[in-house]
């Protein structure tokens, strides 16, 4: 399931508090989706990373002076009666598939009975688990069948358009977005035989966030450590092209006089650079230059700009451009 549809599905399931699990390859954005849903719903959010947890983290038995053993509940669990935790929220068990069988038994009780050692969970809380697939060979254990029977499982599909929209909204550097649109297959190319794999997470955290942070002479090695040797070599070459582009400000000032590049890689880089600079004041000139590009790059450029600045969709230049390109858009 695509990320956009999965987010809407979780929101629709939240009122009935259906327990779900999200599975997919490492670095695909599973946990990020859950975090964003909680934020967009304006509800509480608690995340527990299962590979680092023990059974004791869910409660410790202790004598209470009455010859009986009692459970001391963890301070993170959203049980009824707590005033320091919101009445509604999402409890996310991250990397649940790496939990031991004993931990999974505890989780099964939380999912089925919605309590921890007899203490009810707040009625407004939904339980969501995330995890890698066993086929990815990324440390995932088999999930107990009776736990599976207490949840709905969704498999996250990485989709270029979803990631592009997310990246633009979150301020990912345009050169990385342009490169991924140029080399779509490299967005998420997971191979368990490789030590390092490109993923939506590694392109952002290990590449985009490193540009301008590490010295230029250290960029390739930095990228290689995040997305692998082949991807790092391709992106480093693309980055050099981007840094030698015609000045985007010059294009905006004189959209009819600057030559349109012939090389596809350069065009991809240029669409991102122009889209990032688009404003209501200069959008007309950006559209004039985009009209001189091939239809594919014209659509990429204008779409990027209007996604970055939604106000541009009501601009006269956008309306006229959309009418001309309706055969491509619709």
Residue by residue, DSSP assigns 170-202 as: TT--HHHHHHHHHSGGGSS---TTSSS---HHH
> Residue 19 belongs to what H/E stretch?
none
Has residue 285 got a pLDDT over 90?
yes
Poorest-pLDDT segment among 11-15, 96-100, 120-124, 179-183: 96-100
For 259-278, how does the pLDDT look when each residue is reduced to its tens digit (9 = 90+)?
999 889 999 999 999 999 99
Other Cβ atoms less than 10 A from the Cβ of 174: the count is 24
Has residue 202 got a pLDDT over 70?
yes
CATH 3.40.50.300 residue ranges of the chain are 3-155
Mean pLDDT for the chain overall? 90
**pTM of the full structure:** 0.82
Has residue 321 got a pLDDT over 70?
yes
User: Tokens standing for 60?
Assistant: 């410790």
Other Cβ atoms less than 10 A from the Cβ of 259: the count is 8
As a whole number, mean pLDDT of residues 289-311 equals: 92
Residue pair 236/219 in contact by the 8 Å Cβ criterion:
yes
| Confidence category of residue 47, pLDDT binned at 50, 70, 90 | very high
Has residue 70 got a pLDDT over 90?
no
| Confidence category of residue 65, pLDDT binned at 50, 70, 90 | low
Separation between Cα atoms, residue 298 and residue 289, nearest integer Å: 8
Per-residue model confidence (pLDDT) at position 113: 87
Has residue 327 got a pLDDT over 90?
no
Per-residue model confidence (pLDDT) at position 118: 86
Per-residue model confidence (pLDDT) at position 215: 96
Has residue 297 got a pLDDT over 80?
yes
DSSP codes joined into one string, 65-104: SSS-EEEE--TTS-BTT-SSS-SEEEEEEETGGGS-HHHH
Separation between Cα atoms, residue 273 and residue 184, nearest integer Å: 18
Per-residue model confidence (pLDDT) at position 139: 57
What lies within 8 Å, CB to CB, of 247 at 6+ separation is none
Burial of 184 per CB tally in 10 Å (0-12, 13-18, 19+): exposed
Separation between Cα atoms, residue 198 and residue 183, nearest integer Å: 12
Has residue 140 got a pLDDT over 90?
no
Q: What is the CATH number of domain 3-155?
A: 3.40.50.300
For 121-137, how does the pLDDT look when each residue is reduced to its tens digit (9 = 90+)?
999 999 999 988 766 66
Strand partners, 129: 21, 93
Separation between Cα atoms, residue 114 and residue 127, nearest integer Å: 9
Separation between Cα atoms, residue 41 and residue 62, nearest integer Å: 38
Per-residue model confidence (pLDDT) at position 212: 94
Position with higher pLDDT, 284 vs 25: 284
Has residue 230 got a pLDDT over 90?
yes
| Confidence category of residue 138, pLDDT binned at 50, 70, 90 | low
Cα-based torsion angle of the residue sequence 25, 28, 31, 34 in order, rounded to the nearest 10 degrees: -120
DSSP 8-state symbol, 310: G
| Confidence category of residue 329, pLDDT binned at 50, 70, 90 | low
Residue 110's closest CA among 94, 126, 124?
126
Per-residue model confidence (pLDDT) at position 192: 82
As a whole number, mean pLDDT of residues 226-246 equals: 94
What lies within 8 Å, CB to CB, of 293 at 6+ separation is 260, 267, 271, 301
CA 325 vs. chain centroid, Å, equals 30
Per-residue model confidence (pLDDT) at position 91: 97
């Amino acid at each position: 399931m695509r990320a956009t549809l999965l987010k809407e599905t979780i929101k629709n399931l939240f009122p009935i508090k259906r327990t779900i699990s999200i599975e997919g390859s490492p670095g695909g954005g599973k946990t990020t989706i859950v975090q964003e849903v909680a934020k967009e719903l304006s509800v509480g959010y608690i995340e527990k990373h299962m590979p680092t947890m023990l059974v004791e983290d869910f409660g410790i038995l202790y004598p209470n002076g009455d010859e009986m053993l009692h459970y001391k509940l963890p301070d993170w669990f959203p049980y009824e009666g707590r005033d320091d935790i919101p009445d509604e929220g999402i409890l996310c068990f991250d990397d649940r598939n790496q939990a031991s069988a004993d931990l999974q038994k505890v989780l099964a009780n939380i999912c089925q009975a919605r309590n921890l050692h007899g203490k009810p969970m707040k009625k407004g809380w939904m339980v969501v688990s995330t995890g890698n697939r066993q086929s990815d060979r990324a440390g995932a254990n088999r999930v107990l069948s009776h736990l599976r029977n207490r949840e709905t499982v969704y498999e996250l599909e990485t989709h270029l358009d979803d990631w592009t929209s997310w990246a633009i909204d979150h301020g990912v550097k345009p050169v990385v977005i342009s490169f991924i649109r140029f080399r779509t297959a490299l967005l998420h190319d997971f191979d368990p035989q490789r030590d390092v794999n490109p993923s939506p997470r590694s392109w952002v955290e290990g590449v985009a966030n490193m540009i301008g942070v590490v010295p230029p002479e250290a960029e390739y090695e930095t990228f290689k450590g995040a997305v692998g040797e082949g991807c790092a070599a391709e992106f480093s070459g693309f980055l050099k092209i981007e840094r030698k582009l015609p000045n985007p400000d010059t294009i905006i000032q004189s959209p009819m006089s600057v030559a349109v590049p012939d090389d596809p890689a350069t065009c991809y880089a240029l669409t991102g650079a122009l889209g990032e600079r688009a404003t209501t004041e200069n959008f007309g000139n950006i559209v004039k230059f985009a009209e001189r590009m091939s239809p594919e790059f014209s659509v990429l450029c204008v779409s990027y700009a209007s996604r970055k600045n939604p106000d541009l969709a009501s601009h006269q230049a956008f309306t006229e451009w959309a009418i001309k390109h309706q055969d491509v858009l619709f």
